[in-house]
Amino acid sequence: MRDLAGQRVLVLGLGRSGRSAVGFLSERGATIVAADEREPAQLGDLEALRGLAELRVGAPFPELADFDLVVPSPGVPAARFATARRALGDVELAFQSLTVPVVAITGTNGKTTTTELCARMLVAAGLRAEAAGNIGRPALELVGRALDVAVLEISSFQLEAVETFRPRAAVILNITPDHLDRHGDFAGYVAAKARIVARQRGDDVAIGCADDAAVRGVVAGARGRRWLFSTRAPVETGAWWDAGAVVLLDDGLQRISLDGLDLDAAPPLDDVLAALLACRAVGADVAKAATALAGFTPPPHRREVVGRHAGVTFVNDSKATNPDAARLALEALRGSAIWIAGGRNKGVDLAPLADLAASRVRGAVLIGEAADALEGALRGRVPVWRARDVEAAVALAADAAHAGDVVLLSPACASFDQFRNYEERGARFRAAVAAWIASRGGIA
């Protein structure tokens, strides 16, 4: 990282990443103005920042030209800092200060699970690794840590403010329409994601899903090594799923059996393949890395098993706030399901889910504002019930389920019609499952 002593730096946004940037810059002698247009009451306690930076809150951002460097938070669109002399996000600042290889993971869905899984796998393989970034822990917190590998979850927003960012392994899980209000259109969104591989060279590895056309295009444009993964078919170089085992092929072929792993409780197979390839890309023993799967629990609200009763498994996938995330959950089913879906649609066509649902679910319980649209798409394909809230949905779905079924909450929609966020929706589902099981004399 270049010398910041005496530099005038403007930090835009005082969320987690902005606050971490203030601390980082202050330690390096910068003169800092920290700005946020929200009112002070919306920002929480700012006392820890007062001795480190001049605070300007509840007012428009200062003139960018007055500063040597602008550090935008991910929530600040690129247009807001386009006139800065130089703009670097916290991910770029962290990268320039880290002295270990970086695994960077992006995608529309599955980033957090894959990032946490990859870090756990690296530890299981005997390496010192920690996860940060869009996962909720600012990337700058890894600077100065005793590490062998840094694992970063990276959003399209964060990729707008990188300059020299060059991960040893760049993982692109999937790219489907999202954040188009920020990036303009799907092409703009893909271009933002592609920045994760833009500076890779030589032995750097771009890792992507062979089953996703947009991802294949990004990986094909990478200038380092290119590995693909697939749950559907073998690939030329990379990893695929084959009859209960992971097969990896680059300089040689390796088969890792996952027999005995509870796939209902395990991370999605795409995430497993991507994480194992990332481990291999930084030199880890992938057989040892795979042992982390046995004890790994995906983060809350991401295909989280929250109860079992009379042969029925209850899965909380409230984080599935778009149709593609719900598609992944439905594709991962090994048996049949009663599917709970609905909420606030984000203007995305829900009809393509109908074909998949017809082959995977025995019935659908619909909630929220999108219930009419979903019922229209599913009519004649899948039995449909309507529920006024998630508690009623759990009761309907559980009563309809047979032994061996999954009751799957995977809404395909945002939560804001009935809940504060997807976490509240998932917590309500979890509590409703526990109450239903208890009412049947069981234990959730």
Residues 6+ apart with CB under 8 A from 32: 9, 10, 11, 22, 25, 26, 52, 53, 54
Position 2 scores a pLDDT of 66
Tokens coding 391: 């508690």
CATH architecture, domain defined by 304-438: Alpha-Beta Complex (3.90)
Q: Check 111, 183, 301, 309 and give the catalytic one.
A: 111
**Mean pLDDT, all residues of the chain:** 94
Closest CA to 110 of 209, 206, 44, 18: 209
- Quick check: 195 and 172 in contact, CB under 8 A? no
Tokens coding 379: 């009519």
What is the sign, positive or negative, of the torsion defined by CA atoms of 261, 264, 269, 272?
negative
What is the amino acid identity at position 200?
A: Q
Position 179 scores a pLDDT of 78
Q: Check 109, 134, 174, 345 and give the catalytic one.
A: 134
Position 264 scores a pLDDT of 66
The DSSP-derived string for 103-163 is: EEEE-SS-HHHHHHHHHHHHHHTT--EEEEETTSS-GGGGTTS--SEEEEE--HHHHTT-S
- Quick check: 95 and 164 in contact, CB under 8 A? yes
The DSSP-derived string for 178-240 is: --HHHHSSHHHHHHHHHTTTTT--TT-EEEEETT-HHHHHHHHT-SSEEEEEESSS--SSEEE
pLDDT tens, residue by residue, 383-428? 999 999 999 999 999 999 999 999 999 999 999 999 999 999 999 9
Q: Span 74-102, mean pLDDT?
A: 96
Q: Is the pLDDT of residue 1 over 90?
A: no
Range of lowest pLDDT (34-43, 327-336, 393-402, 414-423):
327-336
Q: How far is Cα 268 from Cα 328, in angstroms, rounded to an integer?
A: 8
Position 383 scores a pLDDT of 96
Q: What is the three-state SS of 236-258?
A: CCEEEEECCEEEEECCCEEEEEC
Q: How far is Cα 209 from Cα 219, in angstroms, rounded to an integer?
A: 9
Q: How far is Cα 397 from Cα 315, in angstroms, rounded to an integer?
A: 12
Tell me the H-state helices in 294-421: 323-331, 353-360, 371-378, 390-400
Instruction: Give me the CATH code for the 92-295 domain, please.
Output: 3.40.1190.10
- Three-class DSSP category at 7: coil
Position 261 scores a pLDDT of 80
pLDDT tens, residue by residue, 209-224? 999 999 999 999 999 9
pTM of the model: 0.86
pLDDT tens, residue by residue, 126-143? 999 999 999 989 999 999
Position 443 scores a pLDDT of 62
Q: Is the pLDDT of residue 444 over 60?
A: no
Percent of the chain with pLDDT over 90: 85
CATH pick for 8-87 out of 3.40.50.2300, 3.40.50.720, 3.30.70.2700, 3.30.428.10: 3.40.50.720
301 catalytically annotated: no
- Three-class DSSP category at 323: helix
- Three-class DSSP category at 38: coil
Q: At what angle do helices 213-220 and 186-194 cross, to 10 degrees?
A: 40
Using alpha carbons, list the distances in angstroms from residue 333 to 270, 315, 327, 329, 362. Answer: 13, 11, 10, 7, 12
111 catalytically annotated: yes
pLDDT tens, residue by residue, 342-385? 999 977 788 889 999 999 999 999 999 999 999 999 999 999 99
* Beta carbons within 10 angstroms of residue 99's beta carbon: 8
- Quick check: 10 and 35 in contact, CB under 8 A? yes
- The ranges assigned to domains in the chain are 8-87, 92-295, 304-438
- Between 226 and 297, residue with greater pLDDT: 226
Q: Check 109, 174, 179, 288 and give the catalytic one.
A: 179
179 catalytically annotated: yes
